[in-house]
Amino acid sequence: MYLATYPHLLREVDIALRKRFVDTVADISTVHLNDMSAPNHLAHLKGAPFLKLEARTLGDLFSVRKSLLPIIKRNTERNERSGPMLELQHDNMAVPANLLDAILDMREYDVAPVSRLAIDKKINVGYWYKVTPGGDTHHAHQSHQGYE
């Protein structure tokens, strides 16, 4: 699962998550993802920074998700009440007492583990066909070469 936070608090939130979920989190890393909901998502070259949280087991992942969802919901409601001024001031904000209050969003928490594995390890399954048009009919030949 991916967690969005303020860019200047990435490291602090990472440490807070590691302390809070010491027995359930296997690794946390920073990755850059494009925010597809942003109006200019095609213009981003690097994408926004997210914390990629990896749990030890599927049960641990569900446990972490269950713990974080109410916190993120509360943070989202607080940010909606604060309005756009909060977004303009976020770089100058003091570090919150509870760093989990800086988590803004959770992404891809509902992706099936088998799908997540296939995406992360670039595992493609299926047949590839080469289709050749020819007059009234088209010929399809199964290709034995993989797609790169």
More confidently predicted of 133 and 100: 100
CA distances from 115 to 47, 64, 79, 108, 130 (A): 22, 19, 32, 11, 26
**Span 136-142, average pLDDT:** 82
Residues 40/50, Cβ–Cβ less than 8 Å: no
**Span 59-65, average pLDDT:** 93
77 found inside a domain: yes
At residue 114, the pLDDT reads: 86
Q: How many domains in the chain? A: 1
61 found inside a domain: yes
148 found inside a domain: no
CA dist 32 and 9 (Å) reads 15
Dihedral, 10, 13, 19, 21 alpha carbons, nearest 10: -100
At residue 14, the pLDDT reads: 97
pTM for this one? 0.72
At residue 93, the pLDDT reads: 62
Q: Residue 90 above 60 pLDDT?
A: no
Tell me the residue range of the domain where 26 lies.
2-143
**Please, what is the Cα angle at 103 between 80 and 118, to 5 degrees?**
115
Give the model's confidence band at 81: pLDDT under 50 very low, under 70 low, under 90 confident, else very high. confident
CA dist 100 and 96 (Å) reads 8
**Span 75-81, average pLDDT:** 87
Which 3 state secondary structure label does DSSP give 69?
Answer: helix
At residue 140, the pLDDT reads: 84
